Amino acid sequence: MIDRLASHLAGLSGWRRRFLWVVSGAVAVLALPPFFFLPALPVAFALLLWSLEGVKCNKGALSAGWWFGTGHFAAGFYWISHAFLVQPEVYGWMIPFALLGLGGGLAIFPMVAVWASWRLTHGIIGRAVMLATLWAVAEFLRGHILTGFPWNLLAHVWAIDPAPMQFASVVGVYGLSVVTGLFAMLPATVIAGRAGRMTAIAGILIAVLLWGGGAIRLAMVGPLDAEATLADDLPIVQVVQPNIPQREKWLPELQDQHFAKLLRLSRRPGDMDPARKRIVIWPETAATFFVEAQPVRRLQMASILGPDDILITGAPRTYPRDTDEFKVWNAVQVLDASGKIIASFDKFHLVPFGEYVPFRDWISLPKLTAGRTDFSFGDGPKTLDVGNIPSFSPLICYEVIFPGAVIDDAHQPDWLLNITNDGWFGKSAGPYQHLAAARFRSIEEGRPMVRAAYTGVSAMYDPYGRVLATLPLSGEGVLIHPLSEVYNHTTVYYLWRDILFYGIVAFLAVLVLGYSRFFKSLKAAV
């Protein structure tokens, strides 16, 4: 039956074949957050690989990769349309162009991967292994070219549970994507006789090994201390999730109301020891004003703090540092109990068209965020040492999605802080996909993570990516939990970064190409 289906798909042509590629690309999205329907991944890639058996020319292979990628990215990034609906009268017309442009543009990466795997290999087994390898390479390139956009990587399907994610502490998320690609693509080889059936079983066993190996690692480090009490000798983290709709956030007539809400949610709980040190955290641009220019509001913010408490908030920041030119930064600012700003951090990885417009001299489009002035770039990852709390690396919004680029190696932090505003994307898959990427950074770097999201999902993770506390999407609330113990462990990935990923790619490429060359020579000799 499977053989007949594969043969039928190989025989498709024209619009039927293109339709199959688009649909199969979209089906693969079901394995990603928040759905986590893992069988969708091998099914989608089986449809692609079986249909590739009928492709006879370079154009057909390029078309297969592009249509598959377009379906995959358009379906995976549908939530971007929500951002344009915050002000539909201004940006609504851009939705189809944004979805098709983003999907079709990003599809270039899988297009090249599919074409190269088809061109360089003979037989479905070698092609499946090569495609798994090159797909991960394409993800790596997508994460670096034109500022990078490493969103919805294959490895993110394992964010369903911390156990299979643990391998990322060794090879990073890109290395885990190679392994995930093998899991996704090897089952398609079942049509290649006995060798194919053995290979298909090996693909399924990858999931078992990832889960089993990760479970063993977590068992070795001990149980999750999810029941930590307020009596523990650790600072208390109090994450505020105001859940104010994005279209209301910047309305001038509601600013005082929003500010009062943030202050109310930030007050010390009545049952908490008055002497207990707190770290109060507000999300990205929760303060919708220039904090440094508002001394009265700084005193109001300080009024909710105890003598040893600090308040960390996202806010726009202005005042030029080394120039008279007016600039605005998307910033993190830290206040002490006197209302003094004791530390700042400026976002360094800005969202194109969201926070600045590339090639502004040639493109006259407005950015999506409030204000007419583009945000300026910060200086890069930075460790903040404030007061007498453990040092931390602040990451604003999607800065957290970039592997290996979240800490200052010269000044290592004790924990990671991600403040974000995912309210742009409503009740969609977008916030969950963002959350999964952030969770991987905690595992890769071996450091706890605190995440404060304006509308959710706010969360705290230990250095192994295990959930300590969480607040749901689209809910107002306060997350209160002791800061995870800052006994960080040094991961292999932290030491070697993507070196093992390069090694895995090189090994698999040489293996497949060597096998293909040997097979061709043997066939010629016969």
DSSP class per residue in 354-377: TTB-TTTTT--PPPSSSSSSPPPP
Residues 413 and 443 in one domain: yes
Residue 217 lies in a domain: yes
Residue 400 lies in a domain: yes
Q: What is the pLDDT of residue 230?
A: 47
Residues 285 and 193 in one domain: no
Q: What is the pLDDT of residue 319?
A: 73
DSSP string, 289-325: S-GGG-HHHHHHHHTT--TT-EEEEEEEE-S-SS-SS
Residue 227 lies in a domain: no
Q: What is the pLDDT of residue 30?
A: 98
Residues 261 and 197 in one domain: no
Residues 205 and 263 in one domain: no
Tokens of 419: 């403040």
Residue 274 lies in a domain: yes
Is the pLDDT score of 407 beyond 90? yes
Residue 472 lies in a domain: yes
Q: What is the pLDDT of residue 178?
A: 98
Q: What is the pLDDT of residue 417?
A: 98
Residues 132-148 have a mean pLDDT of: 96
CATH number, domain of 285, equals 3.60.110.10
Residues 164 and 292 in one domain: no
The runs of H, that is alpha helices, within 417-484 are 430-445
Domain holding 177, by residue range, is: 2-222+496-525
Tell me the per-residue pLDDT of 156-207, one tens digit each, with 9 for 90 and over. Answer: 999 999 999 999 999 999 999 999 999 999 999 999 999 999 999 999 999 9
Contact 91, 368 (CB under 8 A): yes
Residues 216 and 270 in one domain: no
Residue 27 lies in a domain: yes
Contact 471, 457 (CB under 8 A): yes
334 pLDDT band (50/70/90 cuts)?
very high
Mean pLDDT (the chain, rounded): 91
| Active site amino acids | 284, 347, 397
Least confident of 376-390, 424-438, 460-474: 376-390
Sorted by sequence, the CB contacts under 8 Å of residue 150 that are 6+ apart come out as 139, 142, 143, 173, 401, 402, 403, 437
Tell me the per-residue pLDDT of 353-375, one tens digit each, with 9 for 90 and over. Answer: 777 777 565 666 665 566 667 88
Residues 511 and 449 in one domain: no
Structurally, the chain folds into a number of domains equal to 2
Tell me the residue type at 466.
Answer: R
* pLDDT: which is higher, 136 or 319: 136
CA distance readout (Å), 460 to 282, 398, 457, 470:
14, 17, 10, 6
Residues 202 and 243 in one domain: no
Is the pLDDT score of 135 beyond 50? yes
In this prediction, what percent of the chain has a pLDDT beyond 70?
92
Is the pLDDT score of 29 beyond 50? yes
Q: What is the pLDDT of residue 390?
A: 93
Residues 254 and 176 in one domain: no
Give residue for tokens 């952030």: 438
Q: What is the pLDDT of residue 523?
A: 53
CA distance readout (Å), 459 to 103, 168, 347, 363:
30, 20, 21, 38
* pLDDT: which is higher, 320 or 60: 60
Torsion, CA 269, CA 474, CA 160, CA 29, rounded to 10: -160
Tokens of 377: 């770039």
Q: What is the pLDDT of residue 192?
A: 93
Residue 29 lies in a domain: yes
Q: What is the pLDDT of residue 94?
A: 75
Residues 520 and 465 in one domain: no
Q: What is the pLDDT of residue 222?
A: 83
Q: What is the pLDDT of residue 82?
A: 83
Is the pLDDT score of 231 beyond 50? no
Tell me the per-residue pLDDT of 49-81, one tens digit each, with 9 for 90 and over. Answer: 999 999 999 999 999 999 999 999 999 999 988
Task: Give 469's strand partners.
Answer: 460
Residues 428 and 468 in one domain: yes
Q: What is the pLDDT of residue 324?
A: 63
Q: What is the pLDDT of residue 321?
A: 58
Give residue for tokens 């010629």: 524
Q: What is the pLDDT of residue 371?
A: 62
Tell me the per-residue pLDDT of 240-291, one tens digit each, with 9 for 90 and over. Answer: 999 999 999 999 999 999 999 999 999 999 889 888 999 999 999 999 999 9
Classify each residue of 24-58 as buried b or exposed e, where b means 16 or more C-beta atoms within 10 Å of its C-beta: bbbbbbbbbbbebebebbbbbbbbbbbbbbbbeee
Tokens of 412: 């290592």
224 pLDDT band (50/70/90 cuts)?
confident
Q: At what angle do helices 168-185 and 499-525 cross, to 10 degrees?
A: 30
- Work out the end-to-end distance of the chain between its first and last CA atoms, rounded to an integer number of angstroms: 32
Residue 230 lies in a domain: no
3-class DSSP assignment, residue 395: strand
Residues 213 and 249 in one domain: no
In this prediction, what percent of the chain has a pLDDT beyond 90?
79
d(CA 473, CA 381): 28
